[in-house]
């Protein structure tokens, strides 16, 4: 391969974007106990199946909504990332 082609591949914007997303996900997984808004295992049946924040009827503290047991989906997603990176 010639030098220009190698250089172009090394500094590709797509590569930097993918690396940035991967780094962001890794940091979120590492810092999960510090950044999650709710306890991922806490159940509250009064809050079951809440929609995400961009839909009507959402609660302010539950950005991605809740599941059928009232657990915060964002917190569960971030904590699940810890398992995925192992």
SS3 labels along 22-74: HHHHHHHHHCHHHHCCCCCCCCCHHHCCCCCCCCCCCCCCCCCCECCCCCEHH
Query: Which pTM does this prediction carry?
Result: 0.81
* Phi-psi domain of 57 (left: phi exceeds 0; alpha: psi -120 through 50; beta: other): left
**Residue 76 pLDDT grade (very low, low, confident, very high; cuts 50, 70, 90):** very high
Residue 63 CA, distance from chain mean position = 11
The band of 6, judged by pLDDT with boundaries at 50, 70 and 90, is low
Q: What are phi and psi of 66, to 5 degrees?
A: -130, 165
- How high does pLDDT run on average in the chain? 91
């Amino acid at each position: 391969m010639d030098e220009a082609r190698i250089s172009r591949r090394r500094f590709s914007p797509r590569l930097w974007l993918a690396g940035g997303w991967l780094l962001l996900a890794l940091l979120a997984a590492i810092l999960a106990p510090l950044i999650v808004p709710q306890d991922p295992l806490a159940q509250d049946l009064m809050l079951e199946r809440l929609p995400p924040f961009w839909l009507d009827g959402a609660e302010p503290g539950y950005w991605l909504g809740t599941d059928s047991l009232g657990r915060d989906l964002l917190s569960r997603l971030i904590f699940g990332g810890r398992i995925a990176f192992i």
